Amino acid sequence: MTILSWTRRGLLAAVGAVLIAGGMFASATAQTPPGVLIVGQIAEPKSLDPAAVTAVNDFRILVNVYEGLTRYKSGTLEVEPALATSWSISDDGTEYTLKLRSGVNFHDGTPFNAEAVKFNFDRMLNEKHPYHDTGPFPLSFFFSAVKSTDVVDDMTVKFTLNAPYAPFLSNLAYPTGLIVSPAAVAASGKEFGRNPVGTGPFKFGEWRSNEAVVVERNDGYWGEAAGSQAVVFRPITDANTRVAEMLAGGIDLMVEVPPTSLGQFSGDGFSIAEQAGPHVWFLILNAKEGPFADKRVRQAANYAINKEAIVNDVLEGTATVAAGPTPPAFAWAYNESLDPYPYDPEKAKALIAEAGASGAELKFYVTEGGSGMLDPVPMGTAIQADLEAVGFDVKIETYEWNTFLGEVNPGLEGKADMAEMAWMTNDPDTLPYLALRSEAWPDKGGFNSGYYANAEVDKLLEAARTATDQNERAKLYREMQTIVQEDAPWVFVANWKQNAVTNDRVKNFGLEPSFLLHLQGVVKD
């Protein structure tokens, strides 16, 4: 019958067309060209204005385009000269005078000088500055200690602080302190974030929205020229797709490999880079009310949770067990003598029984993702199971990251007993100062959402912040760690080892403890 032959013919034609189309373009997944490094990012950058962004994801691009006055020495979190060649600190610790590197030009050809530095900090800090409206500058409080920035001469700049502030040089190395070209800000105004100009080894090439940010080698760089001709940052939000792209050769380098996918890259053709950094993943316990108001119950939670299993199984070894509030990456300030709470459910049960908290009902805030949160839902679920095993009744509530922060940062009182949290900081001061002092309770503008209070800790932290001698600071921090571990305001869970995968065409790649991604030396065949 005609219909039959007709439909059969139609079907054949359709199948043929699809096959031809597929065949025609089958070779289109060609290898990326040498000299062009393609990096799989976790998200589209918000902006390429260093003063305007907050995410590590964006920092990874920025540190290749911009430079700060100081930077972290490779492989450490110690500060070394960058655009400032040297500095001096007044005795009272409130005046920092920096000598600037000469002969440095921004990518737009304008010179880097003291005026440019002043412009940068005034733009962020002075609400009356003509370009303050290119903000908002959410992390400007990193420099809230700065009372004024003054041009001493063309190549010297002086910062006057309103109080001694030990982490200042470290904060200058943080991406928020990266120096932008004043001329470019003046030219682009609010659109500067999409037309970035800095002094770094790469200069901005193009930004194809949601496809790629391309940076190209800066041939006029004052230091050693970059190893790659160009770097392409591709935003691939879905971790799974990122892994697939890596496997399929669509990207050369991917960061933040999901732990469960690490196994995929263990064979030939890929290499995995790992680097522990200043990261701590913990549970905030509500010390103000409920069962966790009792120190014994907080300790019990620390004993009850099998951290080994979490870091080795759930996180596939991409983290280590945390012992206290300070990550080991701050080697100089880390208290080596502290041992993590062992996994001891029996002891936990005993403590809970002693405190009369058996069978307590706990509300547990879990986030679905977020900066440094690793695999928060599986981790939360595993924690929940462990806590239930010692007799708690745990109810999880999951929130998307922004909502989660909106719930947690104002404090857990009246809402929850525990919440996941993770911090990545550049200085041992930051986290405890912002999240463990009694002066940092949420109503006072801090992040101490669990309402921990210990006068001794408060005192130690204030002293450490104003001390200019690093050894003195280190002693104070170690003492603080011992007390905090004993008081157990948090459950200390994990310190993340950041990872990245490169394919075998990428050479000279290494991760930094700062979690930043310096690609200057990377070469691709």
Q: Which of 4, 91, 103, 414 binds another protein (CB under 8 A)?
A: 4
Q: Contacts with another protein in 203-242 (CB under 8 A)?
A: 209-212, 232, 234-241
Beta-bridge partners for 72: 79
Residue closer to another protein, measured from CB, 115 or 400: 400
Q: How far is the CB of 43 from another protein (least distance, A)?
A: 8
Stretch that binds another protein, among 107-115, 185-193, 220-228, 280-288 (CB under 8 A): 185-193
Q: Contacts with another protein in 17-36 (CB under 8 A)?
A: 21-22, 24-26, 28-30, 32-33, 36
SS3 content of the chain, % helix, strand, coil (to 5): 35, 20, 40
Total residues in contact with another protein, by rule CB under 8 A: 101
Beta strands 506-507 and 361-367 are unpaired
Task: Collapse the DSSP code of 479 into the 3-class scheme (helix H, G, I; strand E, B; otherwise coil) and give the result.
Answer: helix
DSSP secondary structure, 8-57, as one string? HHHHHHHHHHHHHHHHHTGGGSPPPPTTEEEEEESS--S-S-TTT---HH
Q: How far is the CB of 230 from another protein (least distance, A)?
A: 9
Stretch that binds another protein, among 71-79, 156-164, 167-175, 393-401 (CB under 8 A): 393-401
Q: Is 402 in the site for another protein (CB under 8 A)?
A: yes
C-alpha closest to that of 52 among 195, 216, 157, 187: 195
The conformation of residue 259, written as its DSSP 8-state character, comes to G
Burial string for 478-491 (b: 16+ CB within 10 Å, else e) reads bbbbeebbebbbbb
Task: Collapse the DSSP code of 258 into the 3-class scheme (helix H, G, I; strand E, B; otherwise coil) and give the result.
Answer: coil
Residue closer to another protein, measured from CB, 234 or 465: 234
Strands (E), 209-304: 212-217, 230-235, 253-255, 270-276, 279-285
C-alpha closest to that of 430 among 441, 417, 414, 446: 446
Stretch that binds another protein, among 82-90, 112-120, 292-300, 380-388 (CB under 8 A): 380-388
Beta strands 418-424 and 361-367 are parallel
Q: Contacts with another protein in 435-494 (CB under 8 A)?
A: 442-443, 445-447
Q: Which of 16, 109, 130, 138 binds another protein (CB under 8 A)?
A: 138
Residue closer to another protein, measured from CB, 151 or 309: 309
Q: How far is the CB of 518 from another protein (least distance, A)?
A: 21
Residue closer to another protein, measured from CB, 139 or 480: 139
Name the amino acid, one letter, at 86.
Answer: S
Task: Collapse the DSSP code of 393 into the 3-class scheme (helix H, G, I; strand E, B; otherwise coil) and give the result.
Answer: strand
401 burial via Cβ count (<10 Å: 0-12, 13-18, 19+):
middle
Using CA atoms, how far residue 374 sits from 143, 486, 498, in Å, is 28, 26, 10
Residue closer to another protein, measured from CB, 29 or 508: 29
- Do the beta carbons of residue 89 and residue 96 sit within 8 Å? yes
Give CA 197 to chain center in angstroms: 23
Q: Is 47 in the site for another protein (CB under 8 A)?
A: yes
Stretch that binds another protein, among 103-111, 243-251, 337-345, 496-504 (CB under 8 A): 243-251
Q: How far is the CB of 448 from another protein (least distance, A)?
A: 11
Q: Which of 88, 102, 358, 403 binds another protein (CB under 8 A)?
A: 403
Q: Which of 371, 438, 466, 468 binds another protein (CB under 8 A)?
A: 371
Q: Contacts with another protein in 274-333 (CB under 8 A)?
A: 306, 309-310, 312-314
Q: Which of 111, 401, 438, 505 binds another protein (CB under 8 A)?
A: 401
Residue closer to another protein, measured from CB, 139 or 352: 139
Q: Is 144 in the site for another protein (CB under 8 A)?
A: no
Q: What is the C-alpha to C-alpha distance for residues 318 and 311, in angstroms, rounded to an integer?
A: 7
Residue closer to another protein, measured from CB, 332 or 399: 399
- Do the beta carbons of residue 292 and residue 476 sit within 8 Å? no
Residue closer to another protein, measured from CB, 7 or 508: 7
Q: How far is the CB of 422 from another protein (least distance, A)?
A: 9
Q: How far is the CB of 103 from another protein (least distance, A)?
A: 32
- Do the beta carbons of residue 283 and residue 418 sit within 8 Å? yes
Q: Which of 128, 224, 248, 455 binds another protein (CB under 8 A)?
A: 248
Rounded (5°) CA angle 25-31-35 = 145
Residue closer to another protein, measured from CB, 230 or 276: 230
Q: Is 75 in the site for another protein (CB under 8 A)?
A: no
Q: Which residues fall within 8 angstroms of residue 301, CB to CB, at 6 or more apart?
A: 283, 285, 292, 348, 387, 418, 488, 491
C-alpha closest to that of 85 among 174, 10, 6, 157: 157
Stretch that binds another protein, among 152-160, 385-393, 471-479, 494-502 (CB under 8 A): 385-393
Q: Which of 368, 413, 458, 479 binds another protein (CB under 8 A)?
A: 368
Q: How far is the CB of 136 from another protein (least distance, A)?
A: 5
Q: Is 247 in the site for another protein (CB under 8 A)?
A: yes
Q: How far is the CB of 20 from another protein (least distance, A)?
A: 11
Q: What is the C-alpha to C-alpha distance for residues 403 and 383, in angstroms, rounded to an integer?
A: 21
Q: Is 103 in the site for another protein (CB under 8 A)?
A: no
Stretch that binds another protein, among 283-291, 332-340, 367-375, 464-472 (CB under 8 A): 367-375
Residue closer to another protein, measured from CB, 97 or 381: 381
Q: Is 7 in the site for another protein (CB under 8 A)?
A: yes
- Do the beta carbons of residue 491 and residue 343 sit within 8 Å? no
Residue closer to another protein, measured from CB, 169 or 239: 239
